[in-house]
Amino acid sequence: MGRLVLSVVAGAASLLAPALSAHADDAKTIEPCTLDPGPARTVARILDGETLTLDDGSVVRLIGALAPRARDAGAAAGAWPPETDAVKALSDLVLGRRVKLAFGGRHKDRYGRYLAHVFLEETSGDEWVQGDLLAGGHARVYGLPESFVCARELLAHEAEARRKHLGLWNNGVYGTKPANVPAALMALRGKYERVIGTVASVGRTKSATYLNFGTDYRSDFTARVGKNVLAAHPDLARTLDGVAAKTVIVRGWIERRNGPLIDVADPSEIEVIDDAEEPSAVSERSTPGEAQPARAPVEASPDSEPPKNLRPAPTEEAEPGAVNL
């Protein structure tokens, strides 16, 4: 089986606005997302809205598509409609059917579960399971280190569901949260959220760049972009200089580091709102029409002393507050 190539879902590409003007002058043709083929098996069981078991006993997590869970709303297990709807949608789509796996990064997590993109083998054109779930509003786009491949295509499918208020996007629990209410964000610690606000300032230390959404790092919301992410995406490092005073959406797991914080693991987790009130991804590879292939890492240069209101970097031993694979 050859490599699998994904394209942005028809109609959804137009929902993602053009990238920041800093990228417009050197825009290139968008490269499709290409995945390496994996095994083909029959789906024997659905464990939850993003996890399934194959007929050989192997377990697969649908990387890139985060299904709703009862804990999102503090509901009783099995009694949260978005969760049960997602399980049903996945069951209707794949249970008892033959699927093939494809990979674009890490193949397995530490528990031995596949981290795979899943395709229905029997359909013409290899129907993409993640794309179907996202377009139907049964999941949100997320990623893990080394597993952000196809972020542009995933975001395009999600944007279609958001525009139509489908599935979980018609539920207030999953609405975008305002950055200027840090106490409410702190109550969401450990949960995956989209947070919107105006960037008050951009600061740098030797270990990270910080988007400060207030004047007091001890209590206000902040987004942190580590030096490893900046080194892997040098265009992002330059672009972040221009986001001060702009309205930005950051997605990720809420942590407590002084005030609430999202530790950005990939450029696709930062979006800038343009005049059309649609998010425009800062990511080089997540915005149709302007995306560039990922570039080779470069060394992050040392920076001068940060301003006083800049959130200090966490210790090197600090772990993310939500997912640890």
Q: Are 47 and 53 in contact (CB under 8 A)?
A: yes
Q: Give the helix/strand (H/E) hosting 100.
A: strand 98-103
Helix runs in 25-140, H state only: 81-94, 129-135
Q: Which of 170, 200, 233 is the endpoint of a domain?
A: 170
pTM of the predicted model as reported, rounded to 2 decimal places: 0.78
88 and 190 co-located in one domain: no
Task: Answer yes or no: is 214 within a domain.
Answer: yes
Q: How many domains does the chain have?
A: 2
Q: Are 115 and 63 in contact (CB under 8 A)?
A: yes
Identify which of 173, 172, 231, 184 has the alpha carbon closest to the alpha carbon of residue 206.
Answer: 231
Question: Which residues are CB-contacts of 274 (< 8 A; sequence separation ≥ 6)?
Answer: 17, 18, 280
Q: Give the alpha-carbon dihedral of 158, 161, 163, 169, to 10 degrees.
A: -100
- Cα separations (Å) of 1 from 130, 208, 220, 225? 20, 41, 50, 38
- Give the domain range for residue 241: 176-325
At 9-51, the pLDDT tens digits run 433 333 333 233 233 334 445 567 889 999 999 999 999 999 9
26 and 161 co-located in one domain: yes
Task: Answer yes or no: is 5 within a domain.
Answer: no
156 and 261 co-located in one domain: no
CA distance 112 to 108: 6
Identify which of 156, 189, 169 has the alpha carbon closest to the alpha carbon of residue 82.
Answer: 169
Q: Are 60 and 49 in contact (CB under 8 A)?
A: no
58 and 119 co-located in one domain: yes
78 and 164 co-located in one domain: yes
At 108-157, the pLDDT tens digits run 999 999 999 999 987 666 899 999 999 999 999 999 988 999 999 999 99
228 and 141 co-located in one domain: no
247 and 123 co-located in one domain: no
